[in-house]
Amino acid sequence: MLSWQPNRMQVSNNMLQAVSFLISTIGELYITCYLLRFLMQWVRADFHNPLSQFIVAVTGPLIRPVRRVIPAWRGLDLATVLVALLLELVLTLVLITLSGIPAPATGSLLLIVLQRLALNAIRLFFFAVLVRAILSWVSSGGYNPIGAILHALTEPLIRPVRRLIPPIGGLDLAPLFVLLGLQALLMALG
């Protein structure tokens, strides 16, 4: 009778992959909150919205002290961007350490961090446009707090495309073309 015995190396590798997955997922979701805060401030979204209040509550403890040192510049919240960059740097270093590969040089590490942050922002826009499109199909036309934030975030992307491709027979194809463009960007940068 043969029985399968997992080897310790395989179990250890599987545990390391599971831990890396959890750290990566939780870290990226947390960093996405900072990106969302920055973008909501940039598009002047309603900060009395429950989703906005959640984002402010989650990101506030790290941003408040940094804001004392780094003020906003021309309406852009540089403290939020700096915190997001630093969190992405820490997350990237933790993931590199867990993978067992040597840390890259400082310049390369900075490029990796910027690429990861850009990919995270593009994914955020992609899912925001996708959820907005789905909500537009199933919504009963009433006020939806998440829909309002999604509209504020995605309208700067959709509006220029809508000027080029107006709705046809009542069907707005602009979100579809924005999604295609964002997916192409993800493929190019990934």
Q: What is the reported pLDDT for 8?
A: 64
Residue 100 binned pLDDT confidence (cut-offs 50, 70, 90) = confident
Q: What is the reported pLDDT for 47?
A: 86
Residue 161 lies in a domain: yes
Residue 151 lies in a domain: yes
- Burial label for 96, CB within 10 Å (0-12, 13-18, 19+), is middle
Residue 56 lies in a domain: yes
Residue 28 pLDDT exceeds 90: yes
103 or 119, which is more confident: 119
Residue 47 lies in a domain: yes
Count of structural domains within the chain? 1
Residue 34 pLDDT exceeds 90: yes
Residue 1 lies in a domain: no
Q: List pLDDT tens digits, range 1-22.
A: 555 556 666 667 888 899 999 9
Residue 158 lies in a domain: yes
Residue 2 lies in a domain: no
User: Cα 108–123–50 angle (5° rounding)?
Assistant: 120
Mean pLDDT for the chain overall: 90
Q: List pLDDT tens digits, range 51-86.
A: 999 999 999 999 999 999 998 888 788 999 999 999
Residue 167 lies in a domain: yes
Helix (H, G, I), strand (E, B) or coil at 168: strand
Q: List pLDDT tens digits, range 158-188.
A: 999 999 999 888 888 999 999 999 999 999 9
Give residue 158's domain range. 8-189
Whole-angstrom distance, CA of residue 96 vs CA of residue 20: 10
Whole-angstrom distance, CA of residue 156 vs CA of residue 37: 16
